[in-house]
């Protein structure tokens, strides 16, 4: 039996924001910097960052990485609530993928199967679930009117854009 906090997205999904040099495996946790020093020796650190590897290790040990709190909060609401962690894991689950992870060590580099690359934040939309790092219209809205009151503020930080 696998850990009850396991999420395949942490291994097989990645979003890479080239404009900001950040990555994450899911839309809910805040993106973190891609460590350029790690890339020199390990090009797969675009996805296999030390931070992600530590979160994977936590999941395999039954711990709940703090960055994944969105899903933990959904799951704490009861059995009738299904988090994205369950949806993302179920959507790409195969026994082979799980076996590969079970057989690997903590420092295992894995090739993601879902890769999203963002070249800039230029976008004509300002979807409510998005953030200014992915939408120039969303960024303009926050710049003009200030941040929205939300439980997670990482989606509204526009200071990264200032030079």
Report whether pLDDT(154) > 90.
Answer: no
Name the token pair of 79: 């059995």
Task: Tell me the sheet residues that pair with 16.
Answer: 23, 117
Confidence of residue 32 (pLDDT cuts 50, 70, 90): very high
Confidence of residue 93 (pLDDT cuts 50, 70, 90): confident
User: Mean pLDDT for the chain?
Assistant: 86
pLDDT of residue 163: 39
pLDDT of residue 131: 75
Distance CA 116, CA 20 (A): 14
Task: Tell me the sheet residues that pair with 116.
Answer: 15
Report whether pLDDT(94) > 90.
Answer: no
Torsion of CA 75, 91, 118, 122, to 10 degrees: -70
pLDDT of residue 121: 86
Domain positions in the chain: 9-117, 121-161
pLDDT digits (tens, 9 = 90+) for 96-153: 888 999 899 888 999 999 999 999 989 888 777 777 778 889 888 888 988 777 665 5
Report whether pLDDT(10) > 90.
Answer: yes
Reference 3, options 88, 111, 70, 101; nearest CA is 101
pLDDT of residue 156: 56
């Amino acid at each position: 039996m696998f850990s009850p906090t396991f999420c395949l997205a942490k291994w097989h999904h990645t979003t890479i924001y080239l404009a900001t040099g950040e990555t994450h495996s899911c839309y809910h946790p805040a993106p973190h910097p891609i460590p350029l020093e790690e890339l020199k020796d390990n090009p797969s650190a675009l996805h296999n960052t030390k931070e992600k590897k530590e979160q994977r290790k936590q999941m395999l040990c039954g711990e709940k990485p703090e960055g994944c709190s969105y899903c933990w909060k959904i799951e704490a609401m009861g059995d009738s609530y299904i988090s994205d962690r369950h949806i993302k894991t179920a959507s790409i689950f195969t026994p082979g993928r799980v076996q590969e992870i079970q057989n690997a060590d903590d420092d295992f580099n894995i090739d993601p199967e879902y890769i999203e690359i963002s070249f800039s934040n230029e976008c004509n939309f300002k979807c409510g679930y998005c953030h200014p790092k992915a939408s120039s219209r969303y960024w303009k809205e926050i710049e003009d009117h200030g941040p929205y009151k939300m439980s997670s503020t990482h989606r509204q930080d526009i200071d990264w854009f200032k030079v």
